[in-house]
């Protein structure tokens, strides 16, 4: 069975928590860290400029994973034997955020009504353009298999996420991400950051575009590594010539040494990157070579 598809029909799967589906501005290169934080493998795809992912572990959610400023809004679809609800995070921090749920269904607080939750979501700058009445009407609609789709449509988010959550379809071109240790998650995040598609690189601003250009043409990295090394060596030379050093001069020396080390590390990484790309593009050739060649 395709890993991005599951038949979560109401007739058979309403007894316990179902696998959550998330919609947000999540960065693909950060998803290995997200999988580690939530303790669940996931599949994801880009849909209409949004990242849509499905957690593989039933009952897993984003609690324990910090949402960054450029990732909001992050919307999580939940479903269990009690009904459906949607968690909307519009601020930096750890979920949960504002919960949207049909009237009389948990997990609304006893003194909370759906219209108030819809108003709080619409008050966010991310949804300020929405019709709060339309959002409230969608939230207050019957809790059936179309409820999540109606709410996502009112929020201007991809309805495909609701179809995946209800088991009606699968994520197109889904990519699987497995949870791993801290070191492995960081290395995977760095690889995905360097190999990001052009639209993702364009969202990173001037610095991100420069990093993308360096990843495509490693020789450009020397334009920053060489001046960084020169400034670091100049700082070390200056500090070494002072006999009685003040605390801030020791600090300058430490920063200069770090600059030299960073420039050396960047240069070594730039030298390895072309061979890594060749190995990735010719896996059979690498596998057919005898050991030690």
Cα separation, 235 vs 24, in Å, equals 44
Please check whether residue 11 is in contact with residue 143, taking contact to mean a CB–CB distance below 8 angstroms. Answer: no
DSSP string computed for 49-75: TEEEEEESSTT--STTSPBPGGG--EE
- Which H or E run contains 102? none
Please check whether residue 149 is in contact with residue 162, taking contact to mean a CB–CB distance below 8 angstroms. Answer: yes
Cα separation, 228 vs 224, in Å, equals 6
Cα–Cα distances (Å) from 7 to 1, 10, 100, in that order, read: 10, 9, 24
Tell me which residue of 214, 198, 212 sits closest to 270, measured CA to CA. Answer: 214
Cα separation, 163 vs 21, in Å, equals 10
Q: Could you read off the pLDDT tens digit of each residue along the chain, which spans 293 residues?
A: 343 334 444 444 445 678 999 999 998 888 888 888 888 999 999 999 899 999 998 888 888 787 888 888 999 999 887 789 999 999 887 778 889 988 545 454 544 555 688 888 988 888 988 888 999 999 989 989 999 999 999 999 999 999 999 999 999 999 998 887 777 666 666 666 666 666 665 665 665 666 666 666 666 667 777 888 899 899 999 988 888 888 888 898 899 898 888 878 777 766 665 555 554 444 444 434 444 44
Cα–Cα distances (Å) from 284 to 30, 40, 44, 258, 280, in that order, read: 29, 31, 27, 39, 9
Q: What's the predicted TM-score (pTM) here?
A: 0.62
């Amino acid at each position: 069975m395709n890993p991005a598809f599951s038949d979560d029909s109401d007739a058979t799967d309403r007894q316990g928590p179902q696998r959550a589906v998330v919609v947000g501005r999540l960065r693909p290169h950060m998803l290995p860290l997200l999988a580690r934080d939530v303790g669940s493998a996931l599949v994801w795809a880009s849909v209409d400029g949004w990242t849509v992912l499905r957690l593989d572990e039933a009952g897993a959610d984003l609690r324990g994973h910090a949402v960054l400023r450029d990732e909001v809004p992050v919307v999580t679809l939940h479903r269990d034997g009690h009904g459906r609800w949607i968690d909307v995070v519009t601020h930096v921090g750890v979920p949960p955020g504002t919960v949207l749920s049909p009237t009389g269904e948990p997990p609304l607080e006893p003194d909370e009504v759906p219209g108030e939750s819809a108003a709080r979501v619409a008050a966010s700058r991310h949804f300020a353009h929405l019709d709060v009445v339309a959002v409230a009407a969608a939230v207050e609609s019957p809790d059936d298999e179309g409820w999540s789709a109606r709410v996502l449509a009112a929020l201007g988010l991809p309805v495909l996420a609701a179809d995946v959550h209800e088991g009606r379809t699968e994520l197109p071109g889904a990519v699987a991400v497995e949870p791993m240790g801290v070191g492995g998650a960081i290395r995977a995040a760095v690889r995905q950051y360097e190999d990001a598609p052009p639209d993702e690189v364009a969202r990173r601003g001037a610095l991100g575009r420069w990093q993308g250009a360096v990843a495509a043409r490693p020789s450009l990295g020397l334009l920053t590594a060489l001046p960084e090394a020169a400034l670091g060596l100049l700082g070390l030379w200056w500090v070494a010539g002072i006999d009685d050093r003040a605390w801030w001069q020791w600090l300058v020396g430490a920063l200069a040494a770090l600059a030299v080390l960073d420039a050396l590390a960047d240069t070594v990484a730039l030298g390895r990157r072309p061979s890594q790309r060749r190995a990735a593009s010719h896996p059979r050739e690498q596998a057919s070579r005898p050991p030690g060649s």
